[in-house]
Amino acid sequence: MTAQTRADLASATRIVVKVGSSSISGEASWRIPMIVQALSAAHRRGAEVILVSSGAIATGIPFLALEARPTDLATQQAAAAVGQNVLVFRYQEALRPFGIVAGQVLLTTGDLENATSRSNARRAMDRLLSLRILPIVNENDTVATQEIRFGDNDRLAALVAQLVGADALVLLSDVESLYTKPPTDPAARPIDVIGADSDLAGLEFGASVVNSVGTGGAATKVSAARMAAGSGIGVLVTSADLVGKALEGSPVGTWFEPTTQG
């Protein structure tokens, strides 16, 4: 049943969790076991969990002996090809103590817009979940350009949540919640709940580029959250460091109320 409030995350049946590059790559790779521990706790209580993880390009950069994120598409794709392999290995190693097996699912937004491939993706994902596998989804960066240039997988996570009929979507970020203005502004105030029909005019969610390894930002999360909430999925936006509390239904982050489906 759709999570109507953040407290419902503690009992939600099917949850999509999205984490961005800056939270799990480079010096931040220590967070992978922490995130996995939170996911495994939800998995252990019977929830079906899907992880949408960015980070392939950022993870691949040091293995290509590059000093910074590449700017040309071909090298970005090469970094993604190497990094995706390493990233899934790191997740699987972290999942091993919990007896959970990961399944890699690479998609493009085009796959989800085509009726045949969308149906195939849904069927494969449902089967993975029924087998108690934890799907790890990323954009197929070696053939797609959208995630490399826009959104840092927030839109993909919303589309996946719609695809699998998720009860809730959790978008993990670098900040604890969304704010009325960029967090560096002294006048910024945290936003607790955004109603299904809330007018967001006048709110400033910050820049679209927030760091050197990811391409997302608060604005892309708001857009993705509104998309999912508009299709009847409750959405929580919070810090990756609070993922455990988030999945326990604690009062953290910014909650987007789902639109009631008639």
Binding residues: 18, 54, 141, 153, 173-174
Residue 176 and residue 243 in contact, taking contact as beta carbons nearer than 8 Å: no
Which residues sit in the known binding site for ATP?
18, 173-174
- At residue 216, the 3 state secondary structure works out as coil
String of b and e for 68-84 (b: at least 16 CB within 10 Å)?
A: ebbeeeebbbbbbebbb
Residue 160 and residue 137 in contact, taking contact as beta carbons nearer than 8 Å: yes
Residue 55 and residue 25 in contact, taking contact as beta carbons nearer than 8 Å: yes
Residue 163 and residue 122 in contact, taking contact as beta carbons nearer than 8 Å: yes
Nearest to 228 by CA among 62, 96, 57, 50: 50
| Amino acid, res. 85 | N
Residue 90 and residue 106 in contact, taking contact as beta carbons nearer than 8 Å: no
